[in-house]
Amino acid sequence: MSRGMPDTGPVPPSWGWPGPGRGRASYVAAPAQYEATTVQACGLFPFTAGSGSPATGVPIGRHMIWGEVVALDPIDWVRHGLSTNPGICVLGEPGVGKSALVKRLVTGLVAYGTGGLVLGDLKGEYGSLVSSLGGQVVRIGWGLGRLNPLDSGAMGHAVRRLEAAGTDRAEGLRNEIRTRRLDLLLALCLIARGNRGGPITDAEELAVSAALDELGKRDREPVIPEVMAVIERGGDKLTKAVKARSEHEYQNLTDGIVRTLARICHGLLRNLFDRPTSTPADLASPAVSIDISALAQAADDIVAAALMCTWAYGFGAIEAARAVGDDRPYLTVQDELWRSLRAAPGLVERTDRLGRLNRNQGLGSVIATHSLADPETLPTPEDRAKARGLVERCATVITGALPDTELERVHRVRALTPRERQMVASWSAPESWQTDQPHPGRGRYLLKTGARLGLPVEMHLTWQEREMYDTDTAIRGRVPRARGNRIGAAG
């Protein structure tokens, strides 16, 4: 015995002393193991401690360090003070699971009662998901369906309901319909003119506005060819509206916009957005996808115009629902934002105005892109600055696998620690050339909100999700003709 140490007696063997009544146990069974939340288990074991991962929303994966489930709901995060606005920007290289994450979020939120709106599905990858959720898929394309960008849709029905009820809200909603029509039609004119066509003049904007007012007096929805016809016909009202001193001056001031509208009607959007809407969107369904994948291989100006029309139509439908008392939360998905914005100067401002209610009426929004370099491709410095603002205003930035050069751009929007940058960069490429190995960044994401430390999350899909979310079937379906043979060997 060491000096100064108390005598505690002999140390018992691990199984106890042998002999009757002495506690001998020849076999010690392993205790039962249970899994429970910290709320349930704290009474049994009060020393549990978590990393503080949010549990509000849709479970999207487990914390890569602590193993806790991390949940996400952009609307509830604002309600609980976890973020400042319900905007989400998802960044990542192609093939690392951006779409799978967004689809998981849509699926979970629809189950919670949130309405999902995919505005302009250019790849056609949300249709099967929306259909499985009991939602509506509206397909736009030549020979498929049409969408009238001037159609007030649900907003027009809301105005009639409010007028019948005798409320003052009807007049405000009429003005909103007029503003949306004007903004969208001028945006389409900018796309039709392209990067070299010049801006919309004051006289041209006044002429379009006056024509829409004239057509708005009727009971039916106007279409773009009718707007062109009213401006081309002219008359005293339109001459005064553009502040022309004579009919000849009026023609000089409006010739440009008439030709632009003619290009939309007879060239750019013919048989797509120049006729009445064929299938109205039904926001009463669990989710809606406006599928424009039939236009994916069309010219950039056609795709840009299609995206702009679907965004305006979707946001207008949501505002109409709000006007008649619908307080249901909604989540909108815009997956090809930059392809539309770079079609012509000035589109960023008009796009932001079309979607401003996304921030003001408690709507969650998801913007997905491959790179923050996309805003740098916009035609003017003003557009580039405003486009960066669209990302900066998203309270939550979700970063998938990205190289370090791209992470530098992310760092300027949402500060990353050196360890976070190192971790995300390590996901961007495999360490070896071994084949048939999963990509190291697939299903891994870093969630950043405000100045907090990021949450590294790894998402695992169920077999149903793997079948429904898979966007690589076309690649995996192509089996090499001479697999395993040397190059040039006979098959």
Query: How do residues 421-441 score in pLDDT, each as one tens digit?
Result: 989 888 887 666 666 667 778
CA angle 202, 204, 210 (to 5 degrees): 100
Model confidence band, residue 490 (pLDDT cutoffs 50, 70, 90): very low
pLDDT tops 70 at residue 2: no
Tell me, yes or no, whether 66 and 128 share the same domain: yes
Tell me, yes or no, whether 337 and 197 share the same domain: no
What pLDDT is attached to residue 481? 39
Tell me, yes or no, whether 134 and 156 share the same domain: no
pLDDT digits (tens, 9 = 90+) for 47-66: 555 556 778 899 999 998 88
Say which DSSP state 114 is in: P
Report yes or no on 183 lying in a domain.
yes
Query: 303 near 123, Cβ under 8 Å?
Result: no
Pick the range with the lowest mean pLDDT from 19-33, 305-319, 450-464.
19-33
pLDDT digits (tens, 9 = 90+) for 281-319: 888 899 999 999 998 888 888 888 888 888 888 888 887
Pick the range with the lowest mean pLDDT from 44-58, 140-154, 180-194, 394-408.
44-58
What pLDDT is attached to residue 474? 47
pLDDT digits (tens, 9 = 90+) for 79-93: 888 888 898 989 888
Model confidence band, residue 414 (pLDDT cutoffs 50, 70, 90): confident
Per-state percent for the chain, helix, strand, coil, to nearest 5: 45, 10, 45
Tell me, yes or no, whether 323 and 469 share the same domain: yes
- Identify the residue whose tokens are 């952009």: 74
What pLDDT is attached to residue 239? 92
What pLDDT is attached to residue 327? 83
What is the tally of structural domains in the chain?
Answer: 2
pLDDT digits (tens, 9 = 90+) for 313-364: 888 888 777 777 788 899 999 877 777 777 667 677 767 766 555 455 668 8
Query: 65 near 54, Cβ under 8 Å?
Result: no
Report yes or no on 15 lying in a domain.
no
Give the other-Cβ count within 10 Å of 249's Cβ.
14
Pick the range with the lowest mean pLDDT from 178-192, 254-268, 419-433.
419-433
Q: Which of 271, 304, 319 is the last residue of a domain?
A: 271
- Provide mean pLDDT across the span 246-268: 89
- Provide mean pLDDT across the span 199-205: 90
What pLDDT is attached to residue 1? 46
Domain that holds residue 262: 149-271
- Identify the residue whose tokens are 């015995």: 1
Compute the distance between CA of residue 106 and CA of residue 99 in angstroms, rounded to an integer.
10
Report yes or no on 282 lying in a domain.
no
Rg (CA), the chain: 29
- Provide mean pLDDT across the span 206-230: 89
- Outline where 194-299 has alpha helix (H): 202-215, 224-233, 236-241, 247-263
Tell me, yes or no, whether 310 and 415 share the same domain: yes
Report yes or no on 39 lying in a domain.
no
Tally the C-alpha atoms within 13 A of residue 86's C-alpha that lie toward its C-beta.
24
3-state secondary structure of 403: coil
Distances (CA, A) of 281 to 152, 153, 189: 12, 8, 25
Instruction: Report pTM.
Output: 0.78
Compute the distance between CA of residue 264 and CA of residue 267 in angstroms, rounded to an integer.
6
What pLDDT is attached to residue 489? 30
Report yes or no on 11 lying in a domain.
no
What pLDDT is attached to residue 44? 65
CATH of the domain at 421: 3.40.50.300
Tell me, yes or no, whether 257 and 305 share the same domain: no
What pLDDT is attached to residue 362? 67
- Provide mean pLDDT across the span 364-388: 79
Percent of the chain with pLDDT over 70: 85
- Provide mean pLDDT across the span 252-257: 92
Report yes or no on 60 lying in a domain.
yes
- Provide mean pLDDT across the span 256-270: 85
What pLDDT is attached to residue 110? 94
Tell me, yes or no, whether 320 and 293 share the same domain: yes
Compute the distance between CA of residue 237 and CA of residue 243 in angstroms, rounded to an integer.
10
Tell me, yes or no, whether 65 and 173 share the same domain: no
Query: 286 near 110, Cβ under 8 Å?
Result: yes
What pLDDT is attached to residue 484? 35
For residues 282 and 218, which has the higher predicted lDDT (pLDDT)?
A: 282
Report yes or no on 93 lying in a domain.
yes
Q: Which of 271, 301, 327 is the last residue of a domain?
A: 271
Residues in the chain: 491
Compute the distance between CA of residue 369 and CA of residue 264 in angstroms, rounded to an integer.
28
Relative to beta strand 396-399, strand 87-91 is: parallel
What pLDDT is attached to residue 203? 92
Tell me, yes or no, whether 426 and 450 share the same domain: yes
Query: 443 near 460, Cβ under 8 Å?
Result: yes
What pLDDT is attached to residue 431? 64
pLDDT digits (tens, 9 = 90+) for 143-169: 888 888 888 777 777 777 777 777 777
What pLDDT is attached to residue 186? 87
pLDDT tops 80 at residue 442: yes
Tell me, yes or no, whether 252 and 376 share the same domain: no
Interacting residues of 477 by C-beta distance below 8 A, sequence separation 6+ = none
For residues 46 and 400, which has the higher predicted lDDT (pLDDT)?
A: 400
Element (H, E) at 315: helix 300-323
Tell me, yes or no, whether 161 and 129 share the same domain: no
What pLDDT is attached to residue 209? 93
Distance between start and end Cα atoms, the chain? 82
Compute the distance between CA of residue 430 and CA of residue 436 in angstroms, rounded to an integer.
11
pLDDT tops 60 at residue 3: no
Query: 166 near 218, Cβ under 8 Å?
Result: no
Report yes or no on 357 lying in a domain.
yes
CA angle 407, 409, 413 (to 5 degrees): 105
Tell me, yes or no, whether 356 and 327 share the same domain: yes
**Burial status of residue 1 (CB atoms within 10 A of its CB: 0-12, 13-18, 19 or more):** exposed
Model confidence band, residue 483 (pLDDT cutoffs 50, 70, 90): very low
